[in-house]
């Protein structure tokens, strides 16, 4: 793995990085996306150290790294145009390696723990309105040339909106994960955490119509959503399908498959659902993450007020 990334580091550090990566994969069960992000950020950090010290760093260099050097690394990222979120993620990845090295008794550096990450303000989710969501589901089957692909898109988008799943969670489902008429579906979310989500009759109806038209007949443990060649559907294909629907329906650029998950939560909250129940349905580990949807609801109320109240326009 290290050879592919091409880390600028001495042999002792490369060996430690390889063991850290194995730990991330086997013990922490980090996703491929997390591993790629950590590796890319670490590669950039080691390149900075190589240029700053004019030699490839080893384990001793990590131990001797000063807070000034760490701040210089972050400042360089900012000058290169890295956003606050990108810099915060880079700190998280590099700090993860340092903490693992510390626990293994290999390297101890007190400065990495006091390095402050940029303060981030979580973006407010951008859900679709209920009418727009309904229009999207109605129109989803109309664009693709192959009718079964249109039914697949409608089934997928109905599942995302009806159950609040992440696109990765939906596309990881197999046929036997969602048998006809099942009251719930078991979802494997972030951190390998499982949750049960209720399934609406409309979701079952859309999936049944799709499977009946799908030309690919698979075993019970085959992927539920398939691409045009019978392979498990790629998330990028689903995003392109949604992108094609936006101009047809006059939807904003924020109308993505993930926006259907936001819409699920926002519409439940607007109809009086309990915030902790929504947290469980979404699979959020922290209630503060779910509380972002209260900001959406407040924003909607203020928009209605500004448009409707006579005094708001004076």
CB 115 within 8 A of CB 102: no
Question: Is position 261 annotated as part of the catalytic site?
Answer: yes
Q: Are 163 and 198 in contact (CB under 8 A)?
A: yes
For residue 209, the surrounding DSSP H or E stretch is helix 201-213
Which of the residues 154, 166, 204, 262 is marked catalytic?
Answer: 166
Is 204 among the residues known to form the active site?
Answer: no
d(CA 187, CA 170): 8
Sign of CA dihedral 127, 133, 137, 142: negative
Nearest to 173 by CA among 230, 225, 216: 225
* Active-site entry in 261, 292, 311, 314: 261
Tokens of 160: 């995302």
CA–CA separation, 111 and 63 (whole Å): 10
Active site residue 36: no
Catalytic residue among 77, 258, 262, 267: 258
Indicate if 262 belongs to the active site: no
Catalytic-role residue among 36, 190, 193, 309: 190
- Which of 159, 155, 164 lies closest to 266 in space, CA to CA? 164
Q: Please answer whether residues 277 and 269 qualify as being in contact, where contact means their C-beta atoms are separated by less than 8 angstroms.
A: no
**Is 166 assigned a catalytic role?**
yes
- The sign of the dihedral angle between the CA atoms of 152, 150, 253, 264 is negative
| CA atoms within a 13 Å half-sphere pointing along the CA-CB vector of 192 | 8
Is residue 210 within 8 A of residue 194, CB to CB? The reply is: no
User: Catalytic site residues?
Assistant: 166, 190, 258, 261, 284, 293
């Amino acid at each position: 793995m290290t050879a592919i990334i091409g880390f600028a580091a001495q042999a002792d550090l490369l060996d430690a990085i390889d063991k850290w990566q194995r730990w991330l994969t086997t013990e922490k069960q980090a996703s491929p996306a997390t591993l790629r992000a950590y590796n890319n950020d670490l590669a950039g950090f080691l390149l900075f150290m190589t240029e700053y010290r004019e030699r490839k760093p080893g384990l001793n260099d990590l131990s001797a790294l000063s807070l000034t050097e760490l701040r210089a690394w972050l400042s360089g990222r900012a000058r290169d145009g890295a956003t606050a979120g990108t810099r915060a993620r880079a700190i998280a990845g590099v700090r993860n390696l340092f903490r693992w090295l510390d626990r293994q008794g290999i390297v101890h550096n007190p400065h990495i723990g006091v390095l402050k990450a940029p303060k981030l303000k979580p973006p407010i989710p951008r859900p679709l309105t209920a009418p727009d969501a309904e229009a999207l589901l109605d129109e989803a089957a109309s664009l693709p040339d192959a009718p079964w692909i249109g039914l697949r898109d409608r089934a997928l988008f109905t599942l995302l909106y009806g159950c609040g799943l992440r696109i990765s969670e939906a596309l990881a489902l197999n046929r036997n994960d969602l048998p006809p008429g099942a009251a719930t579906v078991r979802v494997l979310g972030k951190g390998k955490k499982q949750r049960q989500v209720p399934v609406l009759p409309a979701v079952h109806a859309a999936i049944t119509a799709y499977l009946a038209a799908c030309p690919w007949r698979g075993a019970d443990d085959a992927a539920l959503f398939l691409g045009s060649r019978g392979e498990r559907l790629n998330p990028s294909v689903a995003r392109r399908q949604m992108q094609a629907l936006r101009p047809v329906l006059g939807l904003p650029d924020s109308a993505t498959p993930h926006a259907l998950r936001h819409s699920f939560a926002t519409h439940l909250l607007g109809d009086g659902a309990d915030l902790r129940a929504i947290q469980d349905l979404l699979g959020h580990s922290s209630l503060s993450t779910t509380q972002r949807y209260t900001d959406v609801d407040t924003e909607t109320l203020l928009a209605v007020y500004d448009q409707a109240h006579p005094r708001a326009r004076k």
